[in-house]
Every structure is written in C-alpha cells, then in structure tokens.
Chain A
C-alpha cells in the first residue's frame, strides 16, 4: 500500500533523470501509473464492502506518535478511485492536449506528485501525516497553476492559491494537534472512540473553527472562494483534475471524515449549513455572469462544493448519503465538462460561450459527452445527477422547521446550475455553426475518449444505480457508523420530491431559453468587485506591506545607538511598569552582611574610578580607571570566597591594560561629539536603566534562593568527579562540553584579531 501511495512521488523524483534520456516516453508511460493504482485499489472494493476498513501501518516517527498508518474504508476508497481513475484519464488526455509543450515532462512530474499527495491525504489514518499530504497537495497545485510560468497572471493566481490553501493548512495543523492533544492520540481510528471526549471538551469550539478554516480554504467556501476562479489559469487538464474532481474536494473529504468525530453538534451543523448554503447560492448566481466556459465551470464548481458542505451540515442520514453520491456525481459530470471545454479550446481556440455553437456537426462523440454531462448536472432521470438530486431534496425537505427555506435555496441553486451546465455542455454544440469555427477538426481519440467514458459512467450508474449500492453503503458507513442499509433506485414513486425535481427541470429549461450569456452582464457586476474578498485581500496585503516599510524605516534608521535606545526604553518601560505594578521589596537586614572598613574603601575606590572614567578627557586616564575597576572587582571576588575568580580577573585585568597600552596611540582620541542636550538625554536613560537593574537585583536578591543545582554539584564533586574545587569540577567535568565550546569562542576571537591585524586594508593601495 505504501508503494501505491508514494509511487507517484518516486516517479516524480526520477522524472528529471528519466526525461533526459527518453523524453518522448514520459507521456506514453506515466498514464499507466494512476491506471495501475486504480486497478490495485479497485481490487479492494469487495473486501471493503464486505469487511469494512482495511489497515496498513508503517512506523515513521514513533516517538512523536506519527506513523504512516493507512486506512482504506468506503470514503477513502471512493476518493482513491476518483483520484486514480480520473487521474489516469487526465494523464492520457494531457499526453495529446499538451503535446507540443516543451515542459511536458515537468508537467507529468507535478501531476504525479499531486496524485501521490492526494492519495496519501485520503488514505492517511494518522492526523499528522494527513496534514503533511494536505500541504503537499497545496504545493503541487501551486506548481500546476503556475505552470505557464512566464505569464504574470498565472504567477499571481498560483501565489494566491498557495497563500490561501497553505494558510488554511497551517490553521488545520493547529486544529489537528489540538485534537491529538485532547484525544490523546493522532490515530483517526483510535480517536473515533473518543468523540464524546472531544465534543464535551471546553476547547471543542476552537478545534471546530480551526478545522473549518482548513476545510473552507481548500474547498473554496465563502469567503475563501476567490482563489479557485484564478486557479483556472492552469491548463485545462489541471482544472479538471485538481479544481473540480479531487483537490478542492479534500476539504469536503476532511469534513466528511470528521463528521463521526466532531459532527452532530449545533455549531458544527449550522456553521456548515450557513457557509455552504451561502456559498452555493452566491457562486451559482456568479456563474450566470460569466461567458468564459472555464469561469462558468469554476463558479459552478464552487457552488457544487457549497452544496456538499451544506449537505454535510444538514447531517441527517439522507444528507450524508446525498453528499456521498453527489461527490461521485459531481466528479463525473464536472470532469467531463472540463475535458470537453479543453477540447473546444484546443480545436477552436476560444472559450467564449457567446461565440460557440453547432460544434456537434464536427465532433459528435464530444457533443454526446457534453449532452450527457449537462443532463446529469441538471438531474434528468436515468442519469446519476437525478439520483443525487432526489436524495438531496429528500434531506433538506425533512429538516425540521427550516426545511422550506433550505429546500428553496437548494432548488434555486440547482436551477441555476442546470443553466450553467447547459451553457457549457449543450450550447456550444447546438444551433448553427458559425463561419469562424468551420475549420475546427475532430480531435484525436486520446482527447475525446476520456470525457465520453466519464459521461457514459454517469449514464450507467444513473440507469442502474444498484451497481453503486456496495460502494455507497461503505461510504455511508464511514460517515455514519450505524448507517442503515441502502438501496439506490431511480423510481421513488409520486411524491413532493419528484415534484421539486420537475419544477427544477421546468424552470431551468425556461431560464436556459430566455437567459443568454452575454458580456453586458459582466459589466454590471464589475462595480461590486471593489468589495469582493479577493480585492479586500489584495488591499490588506498592500497596506500591510506599506505599513511594514514605514515601520522598518522608522526603527531601522541606520544609527546603532538609536536601536539601543529603543530597546532600552522598551525594556525600561516594560519592567518599570511591572515593578510599579507589584514590587514588594522588604529588606531582611539579617541577610545583609556587615561592611568592613577595607570593603568600604574598595567601594569608594570603585565609584570614584567609574565617575573618573566617565568624565576624563584623556585616553590614559580611562584605561587606568578601567584597570582599577577590574582590580576592585577582583578584591570583591576575593572577599566573598571566590579565589578562582579573583585570580582570573586579576590576570585578565593585567592583560587588558597591557593590550590597551600597546595600541593606545593608534586608538582614536577620547572625544565627545554629542551636544549637551543629547548627553543629558542619554544620561537620564542610562540612569533609569541602571536603577532598573539595581531594583531588579534587589528584588531577586530578596527572593528565596533555590540551589538544587549547586547542591547537586557540591555533593557529587568528589564522589563522582574526584575533585574538591567545585568550580573547577563544574568547568572541566560537569559542564565540560560548555567549557569546550567556550574555548572555541576564545580561539575564534584570537583568529579574528590575528586576521584583522594581518589583513591588508590599505586604502591607498587601491588607487
């Protein structure tokens, strides 16, 4: 199983080498990869239907609970078959569609990578590996959308898509980790037992929100839908594969997957109903204002995704079953429509629906596929679309007090989708053939067989729905563990639902004949573009950038001191506020040791030399003051039981003064550049900082001390390390690695000095 999942990745990885030698073979061989996996997955159909989910486990990072666990149940099998089946057709289709393209091999690499990622996504049982495959699909789709990489708008669309879906993925990761944290495991199968715990947990609402953001971004739900129409910049096979049949359904997959885990609560159901319902209406209406075939399809796809979300939101038995059937229905007819759009584009060079007509005279099989797909999309009896529509209406019609409203929304959406489907699937082929397209030719079988195959599947499953019983039953069971037995049938008898279906068909037909796609309609909606989410996102991005520039310009003005001042001010204000807020200093005079005269003398000496160092104008004076400060420091160490420190400080002090003296006359003079005002400002700031440090020191000093570490070292110094000078034992034994690294730092400093001094940096030698 793992080989089936990663074979796409492997073939993408070896592609660069392979194509160097046998570039021509790539399009001939690669389509057999998805085909092979399709057959492999199909061989499990019987097992899954009769025995339920199948499992495979490969350990990956067991210490983090991350494994490559694969779970093949009805839902993942349905998706897996769609991914590989439609994938195989798209692979074949591409081999002709992009025949002349010079990067065709690259294209196959991206496609295989995407296929593998998508397969991994639907088969993963482990939430973390699910996330990894999820992001992989976003990344590979970035490459595919931006395939025409010289095109500015392609680049922009690819970036937008990656930005939105990648962002959603990260949000999803947070949600998944949270689920794992609450449920105690990352394994989906194990989590199924703890759905009660998850749903009653206080952070349930946050988990749901995070998962929703992930699913909505991927599945292009309002307000994240705007990346999908842009993604249609990709070559048509990509749109077919990613943006109608598989990738955009990943969000749906996720929601369906998590329905038994998180679903069934009010917040889950109503959010999905509202978002899905709004999206399906909004996008359906939008699709009427387009004339580009692919744009129409893009919006009708968003609308169909909205329907799916809406159905998952309703969440009743009928709704979940309807969602399961509609996933397949939509994939079949929408992929067909995309493929024939590609053929039309390929043969006539245009995708403007207004200028297309009568093509059936030239390309009969393509027209046939178009008719079937359009009819399935419309929900005409004996096509799969009819069955899914029936179940859908059934679901919304029996949904309590809101049934009328929800059903009305669904019917309107279906009517509009009827029109949109007819525009794409029927309009280009009927009527009289315009002059300019007379020269179009019948395409190669590689192009027309895939859509015909898909369309005939719509017909077969629609006419003989019992063929799907087994698969749909197991899909149903994976969304609803106690699912009742189902029997799909075309005829349900005379009832309200049939009436609704007839209304849909009748109104749709009337609308199709009265409403003509035209450019004028587009102009009318342009005015609303300003408040469209895509525009808002761009504005936000632009103003963010402008703000960042101003911000950087203000703080990073090139004067190091100003950075220091900013940092110090911030620190002082922050810590100062904290001190003002709740400092509680009470001195315990017993803790404080007596002042002996000699110590007092040292303190006086030190204060005097610090002040002297500040005010003196000579370099020698400063250095002498520094030497005295060091020596005084050394005396403090000596007084307070740190002989090692005293010795080290003493030697360093000598070395530092020697070093200063050696280079003294090559150093710049001890001058002041600043004005009096700036000096007062800096003086005030440093006094503030100094007092802050002093107060902090006082506070820490007053707090009780914890010395477990010191005690441990002290007790074990001799017993474990056979040393009696604990400081030295810490340095060379307990923390030896630290010391080693510190000596390395010293070596680096020495090398730095050495190379600075021997570096030839004579400005005159350059002239």
Chain B
C-alpha cells in the first residue's frame, strides 16, 4: 500500500488526527468524546501511518514502545483515583482546580483519569495491531 498519494496523505493525516484525538479527549467532559474515543482515534492514526510507511518507520517517530503506555496509563488512572484519598477525601472524589485554563478548560482529577484511559486504550490497541503487523 505504499502508493504516493496514500503516503503523502498519511504524512499530514497523522499530526492532524493526533491533534483531533487530543481535542476529543479534552472536550469529553462537556461534549461528546472522551478517553476511549480519543485513544481509538490516535491508535487509528498510527496504524494508518504504519500502513503507508511500514512499521519500522512508525516506530521511529514515537520512540516509546506502545506497550509501555499501558502501565503508564493505568498508573495515571490509579493515581488520579487515590489522590483525593491522600488529602483526606474518599477515593474517586472529584478534585478541581478553581479557574478554567486556556484551551483545556477545567482541570481536575477526572481529566487525569480520562488521560489515563486514553493512554491505556492507545497502548493496548497499538500493542495488538503492531504485534499482528510484525508477524505477517
């Protein structure tokens, strides 16, 4: 599938799709979207790129092996879940920064939780797909 058009398109699609996935992730608390969908979008972006340029090329853009995203994401989830506990509130209590930030909006523990989900979804999806592509 290494056609020129596809390669050229993918080159620009990757950053666009990634940006879009982050956008979906961040707005998830207010409008349709969230960690699951965002993560899937990002994974699709990488997979498209790997179709166009091959797996090796794709891996060279992201130095981190997608496998490691899974534990990182899970750790973020767990940390955001127990962080209220550290300040003496029940586990999973929403903690929020008072003022909304530029671009991102309200920042709170739920957002970090969603980011964790996002990373886990990217990690596991890419692990599945990449290891399949590798064995072909």
Contact = CB atoms under 8 A, between A and B. Distances in A.
A659 B114 contact: no
A747 B81 contact: no
Contact of A662 (B29, B35, B96, B133): B133
A753 B131 contact: yes
Interface string A647-659: 1100110110011
B132 A753 contact: yes
A746 B32 CA distance: 22
Contacts of B132: 659, 662-663, 753, 757
B78 A750 contact: no
Contacts of A643: 32
A754 B128 contact: yes
Contacts of B22: none
Given A659-B128, A747-B120, A736 B113 contact: yes
Interface residues of A, number: 40
Interface string A699-735: 0000000000000000000001111110111011100
B13 interface: no
Interface residues on chain B, size class: 35 or more
Contact of A725 (B33, B43, B77): B33
Nearest to A665: B136
Interface string B93-136: 01010000000001010100110110011011101110111111
A682 interface: no
B52 interface: no
B70 A747 contact: yes
B18 interface: no
A722 B117 contact: no
B31 interface: yes
A740 interface: yes
Given A654-B44, A724-B30, A733-B94, A750 B37 contact: no
B128 A753 contact: yes
Given A652-B40, A733-B92, A644 B32 contact: yes
A731 B128 contact: no
A132 B114 CA distance: 48
A526 B92 CA distance: 73
A728 B129 contact: no
Nearest to A749: B124
A721 B29 CA distance: 9
B20 to A, nearest CB: 11
Given A658-B47, A732-B110, A754 B120 contact: no
A675 interface: no
Contacts of A608: none
Nearest to A666: B136
Q: Interface SS of chain A: helix, strand, loop or mixed? A: helix
A750 B92 contact: no
A115 to B, nearest CB: 47
Interface in A727-767: 727-729, 731-733, 736-737, 739-740, 743-744, 746-747, 749-751, 753-754, 757-758
Contacts of A751: 70, 127
Contacts of B78: 740
A703 B28 CA distance: 33
A720 B93 CA distance: 9
A568 B106 CA distance: 50
A743 B133 CA distance: 23
Interface string A624-661: 00000000000000000001100110011011001100
B127 A740 contact: no
Interface string B43-76: 1100100000000000000000001001001100
A747 B29 contact: no
Given A743-B117, A753-B127, A731 B92 contact: no
* Most B C-beta atoms less than 10 A away, residue of A750, A753, A758: A750
B107 to A, nearest CB: 10
A721 B28 CA distance: 13
Contacts of A723: 29-30, 110
Contact of A724 (B24, B31, B81, B124): B31
A751 B120 CA distance: 12
B28 A728 contact: yes
B129 A658 contact: yes
Nearest to B124: A750
Contacts of B125: 655, 750
Given A725-B29, A732-B29, A749-B128, 12 more contacts: A651-B44, A658-B47, A722-B110, A729-B29, A731-B35, A732-B110, A733-B113, A740-B81, A743-B120, A746-B121, A746-B124, A753-B128
4 closest residue pairs by CB, A with B: A750-B124, A651-B40, A643-B32, A723-B29
29 contacts: A643-B32, A644-B34, A644-B37, A651-B44, A655-B44, A655-B47, A659-B132, A662-B129, A722-B110, A725-B28, A725-B29, A729-B29, A732-B28, A732-B29, A732-B35, A732-B110, A732-B117, A733-B113, A740-B78, A743-B120, A744-B74, A747-B70, A747-B74, A747-B120, A747-B123, A749-B124, A750-B70, A753-B128, A754-B128
Interface of A: 643-644, 647-648, 651-652, 654-655, 658-659, 662-663, 666, 720-725, 727-729, 731-733, 736-737, 739-740, 743-744, 746-747, 749-751, 753-754, 757-758
Interface of B: 24, 28-37, 40-41, 43-44, 47, 67, 70, 73-74, 77-78, 81, 91-92, 94, 96, 106, 108, 110, 113-114, 116-117, 120-121, 123-125, 127-129, 131-136
